[in-house]
Structure 1
Amino acid sequence: MEAVQRLPMLSFARKTSPEPTSFGPKLKQYIRDFYHEDPESYSNEIHTLEGLRAAAVCAVKDFSGVSTLTRYYCQLHFLQSKFPMFKDGAAAVSFTWRNVYGSMVHTIADIRYEILCILYNMGALHTQLGALDTRVSGDGIKMSCAHFQYAAGAFEHLKDSFPQPAGVDLAADIIQFMYYLSLAQAQECVLEKSMMDNRRPIVTAKVAVQLVDYYRSALNTITQGGADNSSIPETVGSKIYENWKCYAKFKMVYHTCISLLYHGQQAEEQQKMGERVTFYQAAAEKLEEAVRLSKGMDNIEAINEALTFTYAVVERKKRAAKNENEIMYREEVPPLDILSELKGAPLVKGIMFNVSDPEVTGSDIFARLMPIKAHEVSSLSSEAEVKLLRKVGTVIDEDDKELSVLMTSLQLDYLKQPSEPESLSQEATTSTYSILSGGTSTSNEKMMITQQTEADHSDHAINEAMDFSMSN
């Protein structure tokens, strides 16, 4: 089966934005009013941001397009930490996007709308790149598998973080379908690699069983409760809806055939020849059902090649198993429903990048602006510092008044005569120094005395302030 034709994969269309977004007016006004900085000094940053959005909206279908979308998505997260850009926010900017499945255009002044549209486009672009490769080589299979896992990660994050109501193009049930389908197609790549590498039948069978489960989950999402979910065909259109439903059902049935085929090979290895006949017969029946479901599908040439090759393999094994059991082994052929079911092996998962990884995000365009919360904390800290200094100053003034009253009550005014207020104090200080030094003081010595006295007063004031701060 390693030579079987690769079946086509399903991809999803991206949203388009018919109008550019102007960040300048709102962001500049907020920079002036809140950050109290010159808004014109941020003209280059705003120009860079608008250019990045324009490139992201028209991202090319290759790795550089993924990188552009990812960087813009991360910059949006940086923006919302520095500007109030949610609905009714002071810096809210209008974003315009067209419905994926129609011509309706929506304009919403909320950065979350922009984030969810970009996140959806990231998932859609990954499905396009995953479906683009023919997967004829091991490296191509691995690359497609990685793209579908990244698509699943984007859709999973979208439905969990930005759930949308029914009836819109990014409704929760539609995104849920895309999530399961992306996981299924990633698991299908693993199955192709397992068959290419000739893994043990039990391993390949488990991979195929899980693949069927993923496609079943995708199909159940758009046909809830066994009946068609009316909101989805109305939203995406009956043609796209039928295409999705037929694709998921065909893949589910076809890969059930593949899982039964490898179940039969596993039974053959275990010398369970009667069970081998049962599994091969069931595989042939499922393949006939897949052939009926394939009628009218897109890429029918590739599908028919895969069905023809698979039919030849299954029929050959079914006939050989039946003949050998009738002639040699003569084992009872049990019905399929009494045989134990094999549990699937999930080998894929949704992958989401880290928005804090600088290798992914690139440098923050508005790195010069601190986040809003940090700015608010800084303002509160400065205000608290001013209040503390004002409080300390008030206490010092009150203490000075009390000291003055105390000195007056002790009648110490004679120490300082009004006729010579400065000279007496200076001479007394100089004489004291002269006595202690045993000689006449010089001008340098007087300067040292004055500086020391001022230093003592300064140290005393600092100590009082520190004591007050510690006690409060």
Structure 2
Amino acid sequence: MQTDDLVSIPFRRTNSVLVSPAIKAYILNKYDQHPSTFSADLRAIDVLRKEAVNATEPHTGGLHKLQEYAAQLVWMSGKIPVDLGVEFNWFPSLQPGGESAENNLQFELANILFNMAAMYSQLAVQSNRATSEGLKSAAANFCQAAGVIEHLKWQIASDLRSVPPDEMEPATLDSLYSLMLAQAQECFWQKAVGGKMKDLIVAKLAARVSDLYGESGESAYKSDRLPSPWVHHINAKHCHFAAAAQYRAACDALEKRKYGEEITRLRDSLACVNEGLQARKWLSRQVLADLMGLKSRVAEDLKRAEHDNDTIYFSHEPAKSELPGLDRANMVRAQIPREVSESQAMLGEKGQLGQPLFAKLVPYSVHQAASMYADRRDRLVNGCVIADLDGLTHKMQEVLSGLGLPGSLQALEKPLGIPPTVASHAQEVRQANGIHKINATISHTMKLKQDNQSVFNEGVDVLRKEATEDDTARRRFGTEQWQRPIGREAQPSLYEKVDELQSYFEQANETDVRVQKKLRQCESLVRLLGGSDRDLEDYVPSSRRANLTAKVERAAVKLRETMDEWNRFERRRRQKILTLKNKVSDDDIKPDLLRIASQLERENPMQPIAASHFESLFDERLRKYDPDLEGIRSEESTQKQILQKIQDANREFVSAKRGEAVSKEREAALQNLEDAYIAYHEVLRDLDAGQTFYTQLAPLVAEFKDQCKEFAETRKVEAKKLEDGIVPVTAKTTQGGCQAGCRAGCQDRETSNGGEASHDLVERYANHLCKRSS
């Protein structure tokens, strides 16, 4: 929006959308709290958004609505993920264009802050600058507009996970930032002129106004997003105040009787005015009238000064390079409103920005931290304790099976019928529905696997399609014009995740194959254990009852005692594992996380809570599993001792029964059933681990697919901009071109800023303006 002599930022517009359904669904799916607890907050957030996005008239009430909604968005970002599931559609304000849509709370916040800056600028333009208080209010509002833009650029737009809208690209925001400060400085200049302050003071104020307009113009040249009338307005203002600064400096020189300096400065002033008038047909009536009025006054004073010097003073007229540089009197700086920089401190029971919504909702970072801790704890317990204990048991069972135990002992002790141990194993398998349970578990595991693979493939297909489109465009336009990295280089972490997830699937598939092979090897015997007693008796051949010698009986008793010792030890181990699992199940870290989170919010309400804040708590909580880790060595040592006893006793037993009439077939059958029972439990454990793996993998592949879609969408927008930029644009130059007058008028600035680099930049900017004006 442009008034006669000042510019205000127009509001970005949006469609009406409800935020509450997505928040409600997220709470329902991800939290252990019911959405009904937050019914009032869900209604409030929708009302806040509606009021904020409809605040499109310059009024302090509308400003407050924007501040309230922005504060709640910042607060909510600590409790709810940014990709909540709401598409926020916003339309550009500076130039016509298509909408930008993002499933991103930070994107919504960026647009609200943009409108807040627009509101401050419109309040500034609306101020009555005919009064001292009005000028003061206008300057303050312009400075706060600049402060909001600064906050938007460095704290929000730079942290968006997608390409920011054109109006929020750094160059555009830089131009608006400098423009707001330039207009604030102009208010101080106007107050000084109205207050009849000394010419040199007014000159220093004007020189700084010119600098700021120049900085805004240079950024506008890089941006290409500001409307052409704005760019001409900014350039004209830059030239106007360069001319005004030189004119006031000339007046000061006259007062100090430096007649030659007066003439040189007046000439520079006139040259700068003429440059500002190059784009007169794009200027507002007020800006054009100001330039024409200044030109008339400068021309009149120059004519008088030249006449007086030629006839009276005969003073030396110095070259421009000989003139002393003008100091700058800077009166402005960006002021980030407290409602933005300290918004979280202003939320509360008596806070100016209202009560924080969803205050009782556990912060999202706490859920992330709880998940991180659970993952570390489970890896520690399952991978370093339970897996090691299971490994020790499996190793022992392999050794016993190699020794033919307990089959050979059972065949001798009970030559007829089914031994009690085997009968017990059979009863257990029957009650668990044996092979049917295994097949059902396999079916469910394969369904989880296929679902995960399907979601993963969708994400890979999205990346493949993006790569194909990018390659097509690169061949079409050529590598010199299509200058952007390929997808793998642009987002290497995402492509690394493809390889990582693919390796997970491959490793899991290898494990699945091993489990199925193990099942095939023992399936017939597991079916037998789960069948009838008659089938079991038919499988185990009986042997005749023999009269054992005393030596054999003693050896058998000794072996039985050592085997019973192992069985008792194994039962204690299983109980120890069960106790450890219960310990893990009861290990609820959330109360401690909430306590620390509350403490952090009190001590530093502006600092977002991250999972990394809880590292010391993680370490402290995991130390309570140290005794379980240390106990593995004791378990291994005791097992070695028992195994040695069994091996010694078994050698005596084998030696003693040599020559006795013992059925080898019965020994083999009983040993096969024992091995099948052990394999049955191993298969169940492996299948349970497989289900757990695929269940935990599901959110990872879902997140991967979402990231692929987001990346592809970002690349599509980027490609559209790149393609638009490749289309050749012809431009004409305005008749007469840009003159050197403004550069002459800004000579002091160039001298103080290092000369050639500044000169080249201004020259490029001036040439650019000529092209845009055609």
TM-score, with structure 2 as normaliser: 0.44
Alignment of 1:188-203 (within 5 A): 188-203=186-201
Shift of 1:291: 3.0
Matched residue, 1:53 = 49
Give 3-state SS (helix, strand or coil) of 1:107's partner. Answer: strand
Question: How big is each residue's C-alpha offset from its partner over 1:368-393, in whole Å with a ceiling of 9 and x where there is no partner?
Answer: 3353446767616389999999999x
Question: How big is each residue's C-alpha offset from its partner over 1:285-340, in whole Å with a ceiling of 9 and x where there is no partner?
Answer: 3223333332332x32x234323432343244334433443344321111222212
Shift of 1:124: 1.9
Matched residue, 1:181 = 179
Query: 2 CA distance for matches of 1:389 and 1:107?
Result: 48
Query: 1 CA distance for matches of 2:99 and 2:164?
Result: 17
Question: How big is each residue's C-alpha offset from its partner over 1:104-147, in whole Å with a ceiling of 9 and x where there is no partner?
Answer: 23332111110111111111222222223352111121122122
Contact 2:233 2:282 in 1 (8 A): no
Contact 1:70 1:360 in 2 (8 A): no
Query: 2 CA distance for matches of 1:213 and 1:98?
Result: 32
Counterpart among 59, 67, 74 of residue 71 in structure 2: 74
In the alignment, structure 1 residue 342 sits paired with structure 2 residue 340: no
Query: 2 CA distance for matches of 1:218 and 1:388?
Result: 58
Counterpart among 259, 278, 284 of residue 273 in structure 1: 259
Query: 2 CA distance for matches of 1:264 and 1:119?
Result: 43
The one-letter amino acid of 1:288's match is N
Matched residue, 1:252 = 238
Counterpart among 115, 124, 148 of residue 121 in structure 1: 115
Shift of 1:350: 1.5
Matched residue, 2:213 = 215
Query: 1 CA distance for matches of 2:168 and 2:248?
Result: 38
Matched residue, 1:366 = 358
Matched residue, 2:102 = 108
Matched residue, 2:502 = none
Give 3-state SS (helix, strand or coil) of 1:295's partner. Answer: helix
Contact 1:97 1:107 in 2 (8 A): yes
Matched residue, 2:562 = none
Give 3-state SS (helix, strand or coil) of 1:294's partner. Answer: helix
Query: 1 CA distance for matches of 2:289 and 2:214?
Result: 24
Distance 1:207 1:7, change over 3 A: farther
Query: 2 CA distance for matches of 1:11 and 1:391?
Result: 65
Query: 1 CA distance for matches of 2:277 and 2:622?
Result: 82
Alignment of 1:16-165 (within 5 A): 16-23=13-20, 25-32=21-28, 35-59=31-55, 60-84=57-81, 86-87=82-83, 91-100=84-93, 101-102=95-96, 104-133=98-127, 135-161=129-155, 162-163=157-158, 165=163
Contact 1:21 1:94 in 2 (8 A): no
Distance 1:291 1:134, change over 3 A: farther
Query: 1 CA distance for matches of 2:165 and 2:104?
Result: 20
In the alignment, structure 1 residue 13 sits paired with structure 2 residue 10: yes
Matched residue, 1:410 = none
Distance 1:368 1:313, change over 3 A: same
Query: 2 CA distance for matches of 1:366 and 1:289?
Result: 57
Matched residue, 2:278 = 292
Give 3-state SS (helix, strand or coil) of 1:193's partner. Answer: helix
The one-letter amino acid of 2:70's match is Y
Give 3-state SS (helix, strand or coil) of 2:89's partner. Answer: strand
In the alignment, structure 1 residue 356 sits paired with structure 2 residue 344: yes
More displaced stretch, 137-146 vs 278-287: 278-287
Matched residue, 2:540 = none
Give 3-state SS (helix, strand or coil) of 2:100's partner. Answer: strand
Shift of 1:251: 0.7
Distance 1:337 1:372, change over 3 A: same
The one-letter amino acid of 1:339's match is L
Counterpart among 292, 297, 301 of residue 313 in structure 1: 297
More displaced stretch, 46-55 vs 307-316: 307-316
Query: 2 CA distance for matches of 1:289 and 1:389?
Result: 78
Aligned residues: 368
Distance 1:21 1:71, change over 3 A: same
Query: 1 CA distance for matches of 2:154 and 2:8?
Result: 21
Shift of 1:258: 0.3
Give 3-state SS (helix, strand or coil) of 1:97's partner. Answer: strand
Query: 1 CA distance for matches of 2:97 and 2:200?
Result: 49
Shift of 1:192: 0.9
Distance 1:370 1:345, change over 3 A: farther
Matched residue, 1:322 = 306
Query: 2 CA distance for matches of 1:387 and 1:311?
Result: 79
Contact 1:7 1:306 in 2 (8 A): no
Counterpart among 588, 592, 596 of residue 381 in structure 1: 592
Shift of 1:271: 2.7
TM-score, with structure 1 as normaliser: 0.70
Give 3-state SS (helix, strand or coil) of 1:361's partner. Answer: coil
Contact 1:123 1:151 in 2 (8 A): yes
Contact 1:8 1:131 in 2 (8 A): no
Question: What are the ranges of 5 or more consecutive residues in structure 2 without an aligned counterpart?
Answer: 371-588, 594-616, 628-774
Give 3-state SS (helix, strand or coil) of 1:367's partner. Answer: coil
The one-letter amino acid of 1:363's match is Q
Query: 2 CA distance for matches of 1:387 and 1:188?
Result: 62
Shift of 1:178: 1.1
Larger helix percent: 2
The one-letter amino acid of 1:314's match is V
More displaced stretch, 344-353 vs 107-116: 344-353
The one-letter amino acid of 2:234's match is A
More displaced stretch, 164-173 vs 38-47: 164-173
The one-letter amino acid of 2:241's match is H
Query: 1 CA distance for matches of 2:624 and 2:258?
Result: 90
Distance 1:389 1:280, change over 3 A: closer
Query: 2 CA distance for matches of 1:175 and 1:388?
Result: 50
